[in-house]
Structure 1
């Protein structure tokens, strides 16, 4: 299955970001992609008030994403913000196209490195999978990558590929942590991991003005044995790669960590 990762440097305007998403989706479909992934906060970058940009899942932004996916004939995954009942927002992945229409709300909020995502964002409460062309995909968002139990849970639910949109925070050692964690989660779940990050804003002449996690780039596709098969650097770009779900089966036969777990003890 061919997938594409659209590494963006999202701005503050959902309309402008939508135009970029539509253009990248069309280009990905022209390259044969069946699944197209955009980063966390593709709707609008972190570092601005999120309440005014949040929209429900039947609002204009999500409706337009569904139209983009339908026209291109792909499963489209993109990060947006939806209203929460308590006045905060939810950090949501819309997952739509090819007979799928669902969403995932980020479970683990980024209350780390001096940033408090939970001050404005409410956590989700469920793990999410979706099936496309006979392949089960699991979904996680950014800081979720530090919690291996989510990835093994997705594997237990049948996932062979886990999609990981992100807007990774910059800082000393953060790029190395990103790659280490993505590769480790692929090994934990013996799944493909398609990790799509926000580009480094400095690469488009917009160095971050806040401590918000606005991205470092370095999107990558990692095999079920932890091998980086394709990657981008810091700037915006489109990464197209083929993933073979059969490799998941072979990896699980070779390194059966899921089968060898000790739930009677741990």
Structure 2
């Protein structure tokens, strides 16, 4: 399977422009033979555009989510559509099963090649340090996986990388590829590289960490979107400018690595 990570620039608060930019990246990825495209966290609004969250929030059947589904279908690719601000009440009113009936969530959606919504993940760990994210959003409670092109794909988001127990739970569900839409800022470059790589090594799985490349009033995203294999080896990576990171993933690689180094068998609860 060929995966493409779309490391996007972002315009704070401008959903239309940001989704247009994502559509161009998905089209480019499809031209390059990508089967699965992964977009960054809250690329639709810009993670640090906190004042815009309530204005752009919508239910899972809303206009922005619908356009992302259309982008997947138009290009015939699987699309982990980064994340967008979900209005949980609007989703519930539309008959979508949600963990809470009010509030906003940082929500990733996986669309298949036909644009059908196949999985939903709401960010579990909201950034602390008295951040606006923790004040404005409701944490998710459920893990989500989806079968795609001989992979069992799991999802997490940005700050989740600091909590390895979440990734162990995904491994227990048979996940062989974890996609991590993110909005990781400077100066924590070494944290970004080390944590994503560690999640791949300790769970003997592929990890595809997609970051943005954008500058906001109070922060700059550091880019460096990277695909790691089950040994923690870098298959493809970018610098801090907008880029499309493409790598080939082999589902048989998971089995061969786990046979050669069966660390997961040695776990003790």
Indicate whether the TM-score tops 0.5.
yes
The one of 205, 227, 233 equivalent to 1:227 is: 233
Q: Partner of 1:17 in structure 2?
A: 18
Which protein is richer in helix relative to its size? 2
SS of residue in 1 equivalent to 2:247:
strand
Q: Which residue of 2 aligns with 1:185?
A: 199
Aligned length: 252
Q: Is 1:154 the equivalent of 2:158?
A: no
**Is the contact between residue 10 and residue 214 of structure 2 (CA under 8 Å) also seen in structure 1?**
no
Distance 1:30 1:235 in 2: 21
Q: 2-side partners of 1:105 and 1:121: how far apart?
A: 10
Alignment pair present for 1:195 and 2:201: no
Higher normalized strand content (fraction of residues) = 1
User: 1:134 offset after TM fit, Å?
Assistant: 2.6
Instruction: Identify the residue that residue 45 of structure 2 maps to in structure 1.
Output: 44
> Which runs of 5 or more residues in structure 1 are unaligned?
202-207
- Show the counterpart of 2:126: 109
TM-score relative to the length of structure 1: 0.90
Aligned partner of 1:97 among 97, 100, 112? 112
2:134 counterpart of 1:131: no
Show CA shifts across 1:117-144 (max 9, x none): 2100110011111011232101110001
Kept in 2: contact 1:104–1:124 (CA 8 A): yes
Question: Are 1:70 and 2:84 counterparts?
Answer: no
- 1:121 corresponds to: 137
Match of 1:205 in 2: none
1:84–1:122 CA contact under 8 A, matched in 2: no
Q: How does 1:234-249 map to 2 (within 5 A)?
A: 234-249=240-255
TM-score (ref. length: structure 2)? 0.89
State the alpha-carbon separation in 1 of the partners of residues 202 and 55 from structure 2. Answer: 38
RMSD of aligned residue pairs (Cα, Å): 1.5
Name the structure 1 match of 2:87: 83
